[in-house]
Amino acid sequence: MSLSYEAFKRALASERLPAMVVDLDALDRNVDRVLALIAPSKLPLRVATKSVRVPALLRRILTRGGAAMRGLMTYTIDEAALLATQGFDDLFVAYPQTSRSDLERAAGLVARGVTLRLAVDAEPHLRRISEVGEAHGVRVPVVICADMSLRLLGDRIHLGVRRSPIATPEDAIAIARAASELAGVTLVGLMGYEAQIAGLADDHASDAPPMRAAKRSVRSMSVRVVRERRAALVRALRAEGHTLSIVNGGGTASLDSTTNDDFVTEVTCGSAFFKPHLFDNFTNAHVRSLEPACFFALEVTRVPAPGFATCLGGGYVASGDAGRGGRTSAPLPWLPGGLALLAGEMAGEVQTPLRVAPGASVTHGDPVIFRHAKAGEIAERFTHALLLQGGSDARVVDRALTYRGLGACFV
């Protein structure tokens, strides 16, 4: 199913490199796989925009999903505003912001009739949002962001992300009561991202078997803990009289467990559509079924010695853990096979040297196809993505502007 090196080479023969490249056929198949997974639960899917960052592709994903989709999870208010101008609605900004100018923009969107919700996890968030809401004559919908990390031994061991201080029913009730006392906000939901399930790769080849087993235990234990915590939070808020139109959870590698949570009303994913290489290292059957759909292509411009080739560009390193000698966050040479980054240089600022294994061959002018470690971040490096379609006869069928191509930079 996936494109061969020769198919990429033919399709990119007349294109300027470096380039971001998306295989539309693979993208569509990934959308279908995700929808098939969540279909039995009848839960709608909210797309995480940070993992795409190309409006045309967001629209393609939503259109293909049809009634199974429910809006977008965005990462900043400015991004939500841009997407609103592009015709998108039902926007949930899942990361709290505090600057008045950002919150003014959010209240203005609500006043114009845009369906927008803001994540909160502290009273200062609520007070600041309420001030601008009142100034605009609106009640801004807010969603409590709760902590779903695994805390052991009195939090001396913390597995997951450190984001929200809301972890107990008492925490949730306190912030919900604070919201009820403010005229410029209205509480509409709860969200919780189970990062230690969705983002903890449990099948990495460089991990010894005991480490892999430990990671699987953490993920398995977390499924139970997260389900119990989410249920307790929802019950507590409902007992206080709050109607929660949204209870959001999930990520690409936790969709299989989150869709079985009776208290969730919608799930989110984004990386599933592109399958960056970090998602090669999970045991989940649905993650294994996904195929790479987003790439970048570099041109070989130098051959410094036999067994080596050097490409122009390539220093597109992902955020997050830079473990395993940088390989966790470094891009992965994908096609042709037999190429590897050099430990002493890795992906370079201006050029990227590669070791060429015996039997492999690239020379001046050849493209090398890479996969990014994460999904949407690669879009920050290009003004547009080349959209390929046609399988073995793939060709560039369109060019889609990224946020950068639209003149936007959000974080």
Do 172 and 311 lie in one domain? The reply is no
Q: Is residue 393 part of a domain?
A: yes
Tokens of 340: 């590897």
* Domain of 313, in residue numbers: 294-406
Segment 354-370 mean pLDDT: 96
Segment 280-295 mean pLDDT: 94
pLDDT tens for 238-264 read 999 999 999 999 999 999 999 999 999
Do 265 and 126 lie in one domain? The reply is yes
Beta carbons within 8 Å of 83's beta carbon, 6+ residues apart: 49, 55, 58, 72, 74, 91
Domains of the chain: total: 2
Do 112 and 228 lie in one domain? The reply is yes
Q: Is residue 55 part of a domain?
A: yes
Picking from 80-89, 320-329, 351-360, 385-394, which range would have the lowest pLDDT averaged per residue? 320-329
Q: Is residue 382 part of a domain?
A: yes
What is the percent of the chain with per-residue pLDDT over 90, rounded to a whole number? 80
Q: Is residue 169 part of a domain?
A: yes
pLDDT at 20 over 90: yes
Q: Is residue 32 part of a domain?
A: yes
pLDDT at 324 over 60: no
**Centroid of chain to Cα 26:** 17
pLDDT tens for 107-136 read 999 999 999 999 999 999 999 999 999 999
What length does the chain have?
Answer: 411
List % helix, strand, coil for the chain (3-state, nearest 5).
40, 25, 40
Give residue 319's pLDDT band: very low, low, confident or very high (50, 70, 90). Answer: confident
Do 256 and 311 lie in one domain? The reply is no
- Which of 249, 235, 152 is closest to 192 using CA atoms? 249
Do 240 and 101 lie in one domain? The reply is yes
Q: Please give the pLDDT value at position 322.
A: 62
Q: Is residue 192 part of a domain?
A: yes
Do 153 and 269 lie in one domain? The reply is yes
Q: Is residue 238 part of a domain?
A: yes
Beta strands in 194-319 (DSSP E): 246-249, 266-269, 294-302, 308-312
Beta-ladder partners of 211: none
Q: Is residue 15 part of a domain?
A: no
Q: Please give the pLDDT value at position 326.
A: 55
240 CB neighbour count, 10 Å cutoff: 14
Do 357 and 387 lie in one domain? The reply is yes
Segment 44-57 mean pLDDT: 98
Do 110 and 253 lie in one domain? The reply is yes
Angle between helices 100-111 and 77-85 (to 10 degrees): 30
- Alpha-carbon distances, residue 73 vs 49, 148, 176, 261 (angstroms): 6, 18, 22, 20
Q: Three-state DSSP class for 308?
A: strand
Q: Report the chain's mean pLDDT, rounded to a whole number.
A: 94
CATH of the domain at 39: 3.20.20.10
CATH of the domain at 349: 2.40.37.20
Q: Please give the pLDDT value at position 201.
A: 79
Segment 1-13 mean pLDDT: 94
Do 256 and 310 lie in one domain? The reply is no
Give residue 222's pLDDT band: very low, low, confident or very high (50, 70, 90). Answer: confident
Do 246 and 344 lie in one domain? The reply is no
Tokens of 397: 């069928």
Picking from 79-83, 203-207, 243-247, 326-330, which range would have the lowest pLDDT averaged per residue? 326-330
Do 269 and 362 lie in one domain? The reply is no
Q: Please give the pLDDT value at position 1.
A: 65
pLDDT at 7 over 90: yes
pLDDT tens for 158-217 read 777 888 999 999 999 999 999 999 999 999 999 998 888 887 777 888 888 888 888 887
pLDDT at 323 over 70: no
Do 128 and 35 lie in one domain? The reply is yes
